[in-house]
Chains A and B, each alone.
Chain A
Amino acid sequence: MKRIKVTAAMLGAVAVVAAQTAMAVDPAQIGSFEVTEVAPGNYVHYGSFEERSPQNLGDNANIGFIVGERCVLVVDAGGSLPVGRALKKAIRRVTQVPICHVVLTHVHPDHFFGAAAFLDGGAQFIAHRNYPRQLAARARSYLNYLRRDLGELAEGSDVVQPTLLIDGRLELDLGGRSVVVQGWPPAHTDDDLTVFDRATRTFWLADLLFVGHTPVIDATITGFLAVMDDLRKIDAAHYVAGHGRSQAPWPEVLDPQRRYFTVILEETRAAIRNRKTLQQATDEVGHSEAKNWAAFDTFHRRNVTTAYTELEWE
């Protein structure tokens, strides 16, 4: 999910003051970082829906870890180095076994900027085959905007290059526990990975599922809908979304996101058919969905832009 909040950007001086204020309060505030065991051995930290700020340190995505007898697997490292470190501390409160794998579910900064916290332990960083190309294109601006939003607190947050790229499925043995890391065709991004813990049938969808927070389309709306059809077939007992949490059962929890995409798809196609411009489409399409989603004003019109520029070539 994109968390480059241009509207939250401030004059340099203001940002520095804010950063210093946050530091003065407690630079290790994130140390009280909570994790929830959603299924045996599967621990989730739920990120905030608020815009990235020196107060939340980019703690905006749901991240977590799976504990085996021999190894820990991390699913995303959070939006800054302090978040990654807090996650690592949380892991150490639960287990002392080595952290063998860090899965970088996709190329968005709220999920990967904490990865540097896991560089010292010899962990393998797993990403989709398309991830490095995207990272090369985006890293510089993502880092610029992280610094702009967090000021001095962005210090140490950086991109980590994956050490293992996957295309299809990868089965990993964590010791008495086997997990499947799976790459998907373009949907939320063109480099989405999910993680499935076989022992508990816990499905970590990362940003292929948004709950309550406006879903974000960074790659393709038709691709996202097609991938959602396949996600639905996964026999999961528990699920972890990339953003938000819910008591809704699986796979019904996918329904609101599907409805939102379907509204955009149908209304954008109609707008194109009726010779509406991109500007008119972003003004008109999908606003009936506003009441259903957090951060709608930040992400919805961008989703319509992505959909329109894809669908106008149909």
Chain B
Amino acid sequence: MRYGTHRVGTLLAALVFAVPVLANEKAEPDPARSPYWEPIRQLMFGDRPINADDRDVIRVYLNMRADDASTVPVAVKSQIDQTEKDFIKSIYLIVERNPSPTAGVFHFTPSSGRAQVETRLRFEDFSFVRAIAEMNDGKLYMSQRWVKAAGGCSAPNARNFVPEALLGKMKLRFDDDSITYGKPNLVQLMIRHPNESALAADFDAEKVPQFVRSVKVSFDGRPVMDAEVDFSISDNPNFRFFFNPQGKGELKIEVEDTHDRKFTHSVPISEGAPLPGG
């Protein structure tokens, strides 16, 4: 799966570079007529209709003008409850003009509580960011935002140098002072990792950039969120999401990078017990 996804990224990169450079428009272009989006859509979703009905399923939030193209906060928020019958199965987060446009694919279950994810993105150029929700019945819904930020894939890594000893170290921060059972609890996962961009230096075929490929979050052995991610995610990858504990258990994180390194972290969860905060 790891290299499969990577190949898709490379292929998309080739496609994206093949279209004329229209970069840095002053005004927001028409999202429906983006020459960048069309090949990505074809490759990822084929002829499946997107937004076939006007159900409000997903929204993506970003500032239109980003402050730091290597670290742009993004929030993808579900507008519906996750139920057994009707839930968001996957969220695709795409920065359509990035060299590897798929920043992440996040998989959820009915027990995720809420299909929502916040992270930080790199932007190589002004771009639409698109969040596509795939429902359990296969329907697709999309929301997009135009973001003015550029250069973030090419020059990010040196700033947050990660010493070898800290690589893969994780930190969990909870939004509330303690956990409440039976409702979605917001948690922030921080991973120490340079998440090197393949563009950080001039293309060097010998050097495989090291970045986080997969993040699996489970509670008491049941999946909360599984994500396949890419170097469009900023260094020291950061994810905020919900989990919905019904009782005592272990919140476990498993991370894997392009160099086959595996990192794990877990914390015991019980209602009312103090949690690591900010």
Contacts and interface: CB of A to CB of B under 8 A. Distances in A.
9 contacts: A6-B148, A140-B199, A141-B150, A141-B155, A142-B155, A275-B173, A278-B71, A279-B73, A279-B75
A212 to B, nearest CB: 21
A190 B202 contact: no
Interface stretch (B8-16, B86-94, B157-165): B157-165
A144 B124 CA distance: 11
B145 interface: no
B158 A137 contact: yes
B67 interface: yes
B154 A137 contact: yes
Contacts of B173: 275
Interface string B1-41: 00000000000000000000100111000000000000000
A145 B240 CA distance: 33
Interface in A248-284: 272-279, 282
Contacts of B118: 277
A6 B69 contact: yes
Contacts of B73: 277-279, 282
Q: Residue among B75, B118, B159 with the most chain A CB within 10 A?
A: B159
Given A137-B155, A138-B154, A278-B120, A309 B71 contact: yes
Interface in A261-314: 272-279, 282, 301-302, 304-306, 309-310, 312-313
Contacts of B236: 309, 313
A137 B65 contact: no
Interface string B242-276: 00000000000000000000000000000000000
Which 9 pairs of residues, A with B, have the shortest CB-CB distance? A141-B154, A301-B67, A9-B24, A138-B155, A279-B73, A305-B68, A141-B151, A302-B68, A275-B278
A309 B194 CA distance: 12
A128 interface: no
B151 to A, nearest CB: 4
A6 B159 contact: no
Which of A6, A130, A274 has the most chain B CB atoms closer than 10 A to its own CB? A6
Give chain A's interface residue range (CB within 8 Å of chain B).
35 or more
A219 B148 CA distance: 23
A310 B235 CA distance: 11
Given A6-B126, A309-B160, A140 B68 contact: no
Nearest to B161: A190
Contacts of A148: 24
Contacts of A134: 158
Nearest to A12: B21
B67 A302 contact: yes
A152 interface: no
Interface string B77-119: 0000000000000000000000000000000000000000010
A145 B155 contact: no
A94 interface: no
A145 B71 CA distance: 18
B24 A6 contact: yes
B241 to A, nearest CB: 13
Given A6-B126, A273-B278, A313-B190, A133 B63 contact: no
